[in-house]
Amino acid sequence: MEQSQKSHRSRQSGPSAKKKSDVAKKKRDHTDDKNQRNPKDKEKRDLADDKNQRNPRDKKKRDGDKNQRNPKAFAFNSTVKAKRLQSRASEKEQRRLHIPTIDRTTGEPAPYVIVVHGPPQVGKSLLIKSLVKHYTKHNIPDVRGPLTIVSGKQRRLQFVECPNDINGMIDAAKYADLALLLIDGSYGFEMETFEFLNIMQVHGFPKVMGVLTHLDKFKDVKKLKKTKQRLKHRFWTEIYDGAKLFYLSGLIHGKYVKREVHNLARFISVMKFHPLSWRTSHPYILVDRFEDVTPPDKVSTNKKCDRNVTLYGYLRGCNMKKGTKVHIAGVGDYNVAGVTGLPDPCPLPSAAKKKGLRDKEKLFYAPMSGLGDLLYDKDAVYININDHFVQFSKNGDENDGSGTRDVGEVLVKSLQSTKYSVDEKLNNSFINLFSQSSNNNNQGKITNGDENNSIEAIEEGDNVGSDDESEDDDDSEEDNNPHEKSTLKAVGDGQKVKGDIQEEVEVHEGRTRRRAVFGNENELDDQEATDEDDDDSSDDDDSSDDAESASSEEDEEDEEEEEEQDLEVYLKAENAGNASKWKESLIERTISRKNINLMQLVYGKSETKPDEESDHENESDDDEFFKPKGEGNTKLKKGSEGNLVNTDDSSKFTNNASEKDWKDVETIESIRDRFVTGDWSKAARRDQPADMDGENDDDAPVFGEFEDLETGEKHEGDDNNEPDSIVEERRLKKLALRAKFDAQYP
Ligand SMILES: Nc1nc2c(ncn2[C@@H]2O[C@H](COP(=O)(O)OP(=O)(O)OP(=O)(O)O)[C@@H](O)[C@H]2O)c(=O)[nH]1
């Protein structure tokens, strides 16, 4: 049988390699001859040579290659470098070790959600636009709703701009796979960032990267460098050492610099997203489009009728069953009428073996921004046609007299005359829950029923931002003058980010902004100063090495190298499970929660008192635990609709819980046996039909006296009234039975 042999590798060094190189040289000469015939090519080569001469680094490299024929064989010239490479290799090895996670997903993975968060006007929309432009080469005019793009052969990304209100932030924290925290570098950290970090801590912590914008506002290079350092260290203190912070140094033609966006995009493209266990076991959808499909005649007869709404989006987590209830964030719980699989509006490219994406495959889908050519509906497919292809004359045109107007035409014409879109109208009626300034304070103090309800709901539900609210009350007098700085302690003790973060409200460039001021700023500053000295000295060393070659090209290369290193450090930190500081505080919280005795919460006060102090705490917990239901009932009876959101189905304003009086002892007893530790014997008795054999009629315990045959341990029943003789008799009987059994089955 013939077997194909693998050909030998050509030699890199030694006499035979020399022979080969001679052959290669001949070939080259031959091509040179050819090139001479083609003067254009020669020009090109000369140009390239010129370039190389200009870049001394490349020359060094080339020289090095000449001296050592096989550079791989002489990789280490210095021990330091060797050591570094060795440690890097072993770190890489370590990185691969992790607890294996089972990938239960089937089919194409849903797009990863990237939430872009930041205070107002920091550049969120611009960053999304720039990233979309980078990935798809398309310009999007507006960022509205989720925006899906294909970023690679196996990856799709969904960009979402995080709304600047607490509810929006809570929702975003729940579905984000990566959060890009935008920080205005020229201003510093603002409270919104820390509020979002706090919310993320409670609602599942996704990956986090920082992005500094507005750096072009610095005119002084030294100051810029210092600020970058300061913000970086602060960011590291708040998240974890090595947390990635990007710099967007300014705008070119109203967009961020291509190179910087490219770097950021590369980070996002290679990032590993470890699934959060809770999310993988629960189905959830980030809705990118919705539609009211209630029959129009039903709406026209009763405007407040039950609506049917179709929601579109990628299903994540696990499969969704048909009959399940769903929670729609900010709306309530509803029944699902049906779930249908639709064609993917933004499919992954074919799995052909080639590198990169073709332009055709760089798809994107943003229905709410009015982009993407096709829209798939439950029962139809829409094709988007650009506005300039749809031409309708202005309202009140001359052909009015004809009197034969199409319904669609009338609709389009009526749309032309609309001044404000629904979104704009909604925007105008925005309620700012965070703001501390006097003008916003007034908003906060409006005794508007709806608003109070929403604030209450947040306080009860998540306890996030509750301190904000209480502080609002305390400082309402101080804040009367918007130009007066006032310091508020904004972050609650229970959920402190780290250190003392104080809020400083001030008017900056015509806007009220909430600066985050840190308690230990001075310590950090000192540290940074020393760090910077080190940096400077190393810079000096570099410059002394080859002072003349400090060209801008080199700077660029250095930056690239730095980025490369950063990417490595970042991935290393990620993979090595760099325990973030958030996790520390999570552990603390968990420990503090351990003191709660669930038994006591469910069954009331126990007779054994392990610890008086904790008992006392639990008592108050008890109160809290049982209170809301009673109170809720009274509130419900008062008819405040806001409290009904947590009932089974929010579309029906009925509350089953209110039908039973949960303060009544009997009602409580009726469900006691539903808990594992409840009194099952009573339940068993209660459940038994009356006409069963007379055996159990005498209230015999279900688990009477018995002997564990394996351990020989004896268990006495509850009922100790039986005389000893009967007990003894039964025991002997059992022993006899056992002996018989042993004899039969040795
Ligand atoms: N000079 C400068 N201007 C910037 C930078 N980033 C954003 N801008 C400008 O800041 C303005 C606000 O940018 P947006 O992208 O709308 O900010 P946003 O965060 O989406 O704003 P909101 O949605 O209102 O919260 C725009 O005019 C941008 O051109 C930057 O790095 N430098």
Interface pTM (ipTM) of the complex? 0.97
Mutation test of ligand 1: which of 116, 126, 161, 253 has the most ligand atoms closer than 8 Å to its C-beta?
126
Over 70: is that where the pLDDT of 200 sits? yes
- What's the N-to-C CA distance of the chain in angstroms? 63
CATH code that applies to domain 112-280+558-587: 3.40.50.300
Whether 286 contacts 222, CB under 8 Å: no
Over 50: is that where the pLDDT of 191 sits? yes
**pLDDT score at 204:** 74
Q: Where are the domains of the chain?
A: 112-280+558-587, 284-389, 431-518, 598-672, 680-744
Pocket flag, ligand 1, residue 124 (CB < 6 Å): yes
Mutation test of ligand 1: which of 115, 116, 117, 122 has the most ligand atoms closer than 8 Å to its C-beta?
122
| Residue 274 DSSP label | P
Residue 478 pLDDT class (50, 70, 90 cuts): very low
**pLDDT score at 114:** 93
Nearest to 110 by CA among 157, 146, 152, 147: 157
**pLDDT score at 182:** 93
Mutation test of ligand 1: which of 116, 121, 147, 369 has the most ligand atoms closer than 8 Å to its C-beta?
121
Pocket flag, ligand 1, residue 251 (CB < 6 Å): yes
- The three-state DSSP-derived secondary structure of 181-231 is EEEECCCCCEHHHHHHHHHHHHCCCCEEEEEEECHHHCCCHHHHHHHHHHH
**pLDDT score at 211:** 92
% of the chain beyond a pLDDT of 90:
6
% of the chain beyond a pLDDT of 70:
48
Whether 210 contacts 201, CB under 8 Å: no
C-alpha torsion 731→737→740→745, nearest 10: -110
Mean pLDDT of the 194-217 span: 87
Determine the Cα angle at 67 with ends 64 and 70, to 5°: 85
Give me Rg for the CA atoms of the chain: 35
Distance CA 65, CA 73 (A): 12
Mean pLDDT of the 657-668 span: 73
What's the CA-to-centroid distance between 216 and ligand 1, angstroms?
12
Over 80: is that where the pLDDT of 159 sits? yes
Distance CA 111, CA 731 (A): 68
Whether 182 contacts 118, CB under 8 Å: yes
Distance CA 612, CA 385 (A): 73
Minimum mean pLDDT range among 253-257, 343-347, 436-440, 501-505: 436-440
What's the CA-to-centroid distance between 123 and ligand 1, angstroms?
3
What's the CA-to-centroid distance between 256 and ligand 1, angstroms?
10
The residue among 272 and 629 whose pLDDT is bigger is 272
What's the CA-to-centroid distance between 189 and ligand 1, angstroms?
16
Residue 551 pLDDT class (50, 70, 90 cuts): very low
- How many contiguous H segments (helices) and E segments (strands) does the chain have? 24, 20
pTM (two decimals): 0.51
Tokens of 347: 């499919």
